[in-house]
Amino acid sequence: MSRFVFGSEELASLLRQQSRQFTTGYLHIHLRGAEAAEGTEPWVLTYYHGRLVFSADQPLETQIFLKRLCRFVPRLHLSWSQRAIRVVQERLMKENSLQELIEGMTQLALLKPGEVEDALWLNLLTDFDRYLFERAGTCRFEVQERVAQDTPIGGFELEPLLQEAARRWDQWMALKVAIPTMLAVPVVNWERVNRYRITEEQRQKLHHLTKDGQSLESIAKQLGRDRLEVATFFAGWLKKGLISLQTPPELVQAKRHNPLTILAVDDSVVMQEIIRQSLPNYRVITTGNSAEVLHLLFRYRPDLLLMDVTMPGIDGLELCRIVRNLEEFKSIPIVMVTSRDGLLDRIRGKWSGATAYLTKPFTESQLNAEVERLLAQQPHLRERLAGQGITVNPAPLFKGSHSSLADPALEGPHNA
């Protein structure tokens, strides 16, 4: 039984490359958390003759199948539907097969033609949204011929699923700015609603969806709708200012205790490792490829950006200008790291939008002091810094080459 290891963004390629090996059975996937201490999360894909049938945190079986089916067919949540399902299970299922379950539910008008296929397609895509493009881990395929007897449908071809998953991922990335988490709770701004020209039907719908104080995730489940559809729907109201999103207290508390994230961009692997080891109190993401920077920015939402000036392809100054043109990152502290410390170099750095200029070689204490100083200037980060035991000192610590680009030295002769 082969075991495969994949990094973030590599799982889709792995599924394509090994499609001939994944025949009938279960692909057991163990997804690593962002931090080593988080352990792994199970994910199981059910295959039938190379086609994908089902996705869950365990192999396909009756109760987990019913749970996922009910998630995308709201009618099955009704009390009479639940009683009818029990009748099907107790009286009409002789061999306890999923085909019998579906046939019995169809006979009692619990299911309409095509609903099972639609629900399982959306079930696969929903889990692809969560796991396919961001998580690393390991997987192994278990051949299980019993799936041929249990499978409720013939399954879906892999490639159309992956193409649709990629399209949806682009949509999720576009929505991230407005809706960073589906666990957020929408709150109506009724004063603005009353001034806004919306129909009474829209007003009633807004009230109905938000009156119980549920998260976007719970609203999607209650409606039996696609999470992406619900997120897109609420993003439109957010844009108009009709609602705001409240982050649950437990998420706020968890974020306070998470280490601040720094993205370090340098084409030297040695320098990447030096930066990583010099900043043990932070989560440091590194890359030597300038083309990856925008993707990593949106993926990790770092609190500070360290960027080498001289890199192949797009240089650090041009990359800094690009980042500053992104609304989400206009205020992120950007430290240009370089061996060049002439006045003209520092002025160019300021014009590109950099916050500070750090000259190589630097010591570990110098790097930490500059990072702490810039982070402490961000009011929303001070509490998290203090929570990590990091001294908060927003005042400048260095003059000359280790100073903010707002340093008076830029306004007169360079004395460094």
pLDDT values of the chain reduced to their tens digit, one per residue, 416 residues? 578 999 888 999 999 999 999 999 999 999 987 554 456 799 999 999 999 999 999 999 888 999 999 999 988 988 888 888 888 888 766 666 888 889 889 988 899 999 999 999 999 999 999 999 888 899 999 999 888 888 889 999 999 999 999 999 999 988 887 888 898 899 999 888 888 888 889 889 989 999 888 999 999 998 989 999 999 999 999 988 899 888 766 555 545 556 788 999 888 888 888 888 888 888 898 888 877 888 788 878 889 999 888 777 677 788 888 888 887 788 889 998 877 665 565 566 566 778 888 887 888 888 998 888 888 887 666 556 655 555 555 444 333 334 444 433 333 333 32
Residues 287 and 404 in one domain: yes
User: Per the structure, how many domains does the chain have?
Assistant: 3
The tokens of 58 are what? Answer: 């365990």
Residues 17 and 105 in one domain: yes
Structural domain range at position 53: 3-175
Assigned domain for 287 exists = yes
Displacement of CA 55 from its chain's centroid (Å): 19
Residues in CB range of 98: below 8 A, 6 or more apart: 60, 62, 65, 150, 151, 152
Answer whether 0.75 is exceeded by the pTM.
Answer: no
Q: Which H or E run includes 29?
A: strand 25-32
Same domain, 273 and 356: yes
**Residue 416 located in a structural domain:** no
341 shares a domain with 308: yes
In a domain, 253, yes or no: no
- Strand pairing category for 283-287 and 334-338: unpaired
Residues 153 and 59 in one domain: yes
Same domain, 265 and 399: yes
Residues 89, 227 within the same domain: no
Q: What angle in degrees, to the nearest 10, is found between the helix axes of 316-324 and 293-300?
A: 40
- All residues at 6 or more sequence positions from 172 whose CB lies less than 8 Å from its CB, including other chains: 129, 228, 231
Regarding whether 189 and 170 lie in a shared domain, the answer is no
With vertex at residue 125, the alpha carbon angle to CA 120 and CA 128, rounded to the nearest 5 degrees, is: 130
Return the structure tokens found at 55: 């996705």
Classify residue 254: in a domain, yes or no: no
What pLDDT is stored for residue 17 in this prediction? 94
Q: Note whether residue 309 is domain-resident.
A: yes
Query: Would you say residue 375 lies in a domain?
Result: yes
The pLDDT of residue 251: 52
Tell me, yes or no, whether 204 and 83 share the same domain.
Answer: no
Write down the pLDDT at residue 172. Answer: 93
Please say which residue of 141, 175, 209 terminates a domain.
175
Cα separation, 384 vs 160, in Å, equals 43
Domain boundary among 175, 205, 238: 175
